[in-house]
């Protein structure tokens, strides 16, 4: 079986644009291989229990858009560095889909796409691609905070 073909037929949450700016990270993304009446972006703190945020995404007609306020990412975090992994929940009752970019024929995005860090509320945050081409946000407390 051709793995490329079978993957393309599966449902995925494909990030199309990432805009870190003005204390927010705005994402535009599409749901591929399925349809949904609603979409919620789920942010989960990696390696911690109970660290989750849920933000409703707006339909753009061609996909979805969500604006993530960075100040929310610092709430109740005590570590010097933490990571938020991003998912898409379409309300179908299953496990949310990991947000990433996999259908564009570009692999190794972690070393290719570099987004600027923003400084807010005593920490800095920057979206980045993981080694699996999924999207996450790295947060680090600023010196002296």
Domains of the chain from N-terminus onward? 3-141 (2.60.40)
- Contact at 8 Å (CB) between 99 and 13? yes
Per DSSP, the three-state class of 11 is: coil
Q: Model confidence over 91-107: pLDDT tens digits?
A: 877 789 999 999 998 99
pTM over 0.75? The answer is: yes
pLDDT(76) > 80: no
CA dihedral 39, 139, 26, 113 (to 10 degrees): -110
């Amino acid at each position: 079986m051709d793995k490329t073909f079978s993957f393309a037929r599966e449902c995925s949450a494909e990030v199309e644009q990432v805009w870190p700016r003005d204390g927010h990270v705005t994402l535009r993304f599409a749901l591929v291989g399925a349809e949904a009446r609603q979409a919620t972006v789920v942010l989960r703190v990696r390696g911690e229990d109970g660290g989750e945020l849920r933000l409703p995404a707006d339909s753009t007609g061609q996909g979805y858009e969500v604006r993530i306020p960075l100040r929310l990412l610092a709430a109740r975090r005590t570590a010097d560095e933490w990571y938020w992994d991003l998912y898409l929940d379409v309300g179908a009752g299953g496990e949310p889909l990991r947000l990433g970019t996999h259908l564009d024929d570009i692999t190794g995005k972690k070393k290719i796409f570099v987004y600027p860090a923003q400084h807010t509320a005593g920490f800095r945050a920057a979206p980045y691609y993981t080694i699996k081409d999924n999207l996450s946000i790295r947060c680090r407390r600023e010196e002296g905070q």
